[in-house]
Structure formats: C-alpha cells, structure tokens
C-alpha cells in the first residue's frame, strides 16, 4: 500500500484525478523529476465533408504511416481534437469525433493475438492520455504508426476538418521514460470485432444493461493509468479483479455539454499504481442505461501497464 503521505505526494506529482489505491505497488524508484517535455502537433486530413445528410458527410477510413515525432521517444501525453485549417477547434455540435485510434505497426496486442497494438485513441469524450513519474509509452524511431477513424459532419454546410493530435514526449533515454508501459485495449466484445454491441432497451426507466468480458493478465506488472470509452446511454466502464471484485478503475461517463448523437462529453480517468498479477482474471464491465434501445454502442477501456516489479520500499 502507498502511505497517505506518499499518496499525497503522488497526487501532487500527477496533479490530477483519482488515485485508486486498492492494490498499490510501492513507489520506490519512480522518477519525481519534472520531465523535459517536448510537444508536437500533428494532423490527419484535411477531410472535406459534405453537409450532414449528404453523401460524403462522414469519413471512416485508415491511413498507414501517419505523422509522428522523430526518434526513440517516450510519450507522456496525447490529446485529440477536430480542428479547421487554422488549427481552431471545430465546435463539437458541428463535427463529431466518433473515434480515432493510433496503432504501432511494429507491435501486437498483449491480449488479442495478432492484432496490431492500439496505443492511444479517443472518441467524443477526448480523454487525454497522461503518463506520470517514470512511465511512458516508448516507441522506436523505426516504428510506423497507423490510424483508423470515423468522423461526421453534423452541420448544414460542408466543412473541411483535420484530426489533430498533440503529443508530449521525452527522449526515450530520459528517467521519466525508464518504465515503458504496454497499452491494453480492452473491449467488452472481445478481440477481432468491430467493438459494437446493442443495448436492448427493454428494462424500463432506471434499468441498467451490463456487458462483461474476462481478461487474463499475460504477465505481472503495475497498472499506471486507465480511461474508458462509451457511447450514448453509457454509464460507466470498469475493470476489477475477478477473484475478489476489487476495483482497478471505474471510468464514469459525463454528459455536461451537448455532443452529437448524445455521446458522453467526458469520461473520468484513473491514475493508478496497482499491481497486476500474471494469470489473474480481470473483469471488464460496461454499464448502459436500459430504458431505450441503442444500436452499435461500445464498452472499451485503455489501460497502461508496466511489465516489471518495483523494488520493495
């Protein structure tokens, strides 16, 4: 367990969010130095979208070798937005970021055999990836990045938009990247699907529909960050130890500003330092309002896990 003092220090270090301390790993050896972060802004596009309701109002495609920072780097931060040619964010009700995923073509998933590693992404909620302390997503200079996305024009006029991603990174040799994390793209529909399922909507007012999937940890390590993705009607997505129900992270959907298709406008994330044990089963649960039917929804959680054991404190 992390002592209260250390927990406060960690929260100060991270400067945000909920630290869920149920299966805390010792913080020994975690870098507390301010990382020399370099920020790069990159784009995919432009996408010339026709007005809503017209052919060509959506773009649902993939691209290989998307722009990325040069060199061997440790990524500390990623955020996404839809912007116009001048870099100004497009109002959320005018264009919908349904999803975007970035993949590392040089690696495969730790839990879905043969699937290209998905290392970050976003939907309407635009949850940034934020890795603290010594933890970073390390990618080599020769790794090609691919992307897939689905965006939609929701306005009555044609729009030219870009998918913009901002990356905060350090040289891979920096202490703040000394514990490289592996991204776990966990999906309640399993592997090799399009991630979509339907909520029947037959439960009446206040009822909840749940969809779960069990994922077995392939190796031991420390989970350091997690954040979910849900569609309209989504309540929360959580991961917990199957054996005792101990919660690792619950990502809760918020509807605090209007989004196209009634998508969540934000989702909470979890800053963690929780031990993960090889062979342990973890239950991923997506919960949806079941008062009305919803088609093609998703229940996804990205978790970032360092394969290693911190020295005892």
Binding site residues, Cu ion, CB under 5 A: 99, 123, 298
Phi and psi angles of residue 233, each rounded to the nearest 5 degrees, phi first: 90, -10
Q: How far is the CB of 226 from Cu ion (least distance, A)?
A: 17
With respect to Cu ion, which residue has the nearer C-beta, 9 or 126?
126
Closer to Cu ion at the Cβ: 273 or 294?
A: 294
Angle ∠(202,206,208) on CA atoms, nearest 5: 60
Task: State how far the alpha carbon of 181 is from the alpha carbons of 76, 136, 171, 303, in Å.
Answer: 10, 6, 15, 9
Minimum Å distance from CB 7 to Cu ion?
33
Of the pair 96, 273, the CB lying nearest Cu ion is at: 96
- State the minimum distance, in angstroms, from the CB of residue 33 to Cu ion: 37
**Alpha-carbon distance 295 to 273, whole Å?**
35
Question: Between 25 and 151, whose beta carbon lies closer to Cu ion?
Answer: 151
Lookup result for tokens 């896990």: 305
Closest CB to Cu ion belongs to which residue? 298
Minimum CB separation of residue 300 from Cu ion in Å reads: 7
b/e per residue 254-284 (b: at least 16 CB within 10 A):
eeeeebbeebbbbbbbbbbbbbbeeeeebbb
The least CB distance from residue 98 to Cu ion, in Å, is: 6
Structure tokens at 138: 């390390």
Closest CB to Cu ion among residues 64, 261: 261
């Amino acid at each position: 367990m992390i002592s209260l003092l250390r927990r406060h220090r960690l929260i100060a270090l991270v400067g945000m969010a909920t630290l869920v301390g149920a299966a805390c790993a010792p913080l020994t050896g975690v870098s507390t130095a301010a990382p020399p972060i370099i920020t790069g802004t990159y784009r995919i596009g432009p996408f010339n979208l026709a007005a809503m309701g017209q052919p060509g109002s959506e773009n649902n495609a993939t691209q290989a070798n998307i722009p990325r920072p040069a060199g061997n780097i440790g990524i500390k931060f990623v955020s996404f937005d839809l912007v116009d040619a001048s870099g100004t964010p497009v109002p959320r009700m005018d264009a919908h970021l349904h999803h975007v995923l970035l993949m590392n073509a040089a690696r495969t998933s730790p839990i879905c055999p043969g699937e290209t590693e998905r290392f970050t992404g976003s939907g309407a909620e635009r949850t940034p990836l934020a890795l603290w302390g010594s933890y970073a997503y390390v990618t080599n200079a020769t790794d090609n990045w691919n992307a897939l996305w689905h965006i939609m024009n929701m306005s009555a006029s044609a729009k030219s938009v870009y998918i913009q991603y901002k990356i905060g990174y350090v040289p891979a040799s920096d202490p703040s990247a000394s514990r490289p994390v592996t991204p776990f793209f966990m999906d309640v529909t399993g592997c090799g699907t399009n991630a979509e399922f339907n909520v029947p909507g037959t439960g009446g007012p206040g009822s909840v529909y749940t969809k779960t999937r069990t994922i077995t940890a392939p190796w031991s390590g420390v989970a350091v960050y997690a954040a979910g993705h849900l569609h309209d009607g989504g309540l929360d997505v959580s991961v917990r130890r199957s054996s005792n129900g101990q919660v690792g992270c619950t990502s809760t959907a918020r509807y605090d500003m209007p989004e196209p298709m009634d998508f969540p406008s934000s989702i909470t994330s979890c800053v963690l330092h929780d031990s993960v044990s090889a062979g342990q089963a973890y239950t991923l649960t997506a919960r949806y309002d079941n008062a009305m039917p919803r088609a093609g929804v998703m229940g996804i959680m990205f978790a970032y896990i360092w394969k290693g054991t911190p020295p005892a404190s």
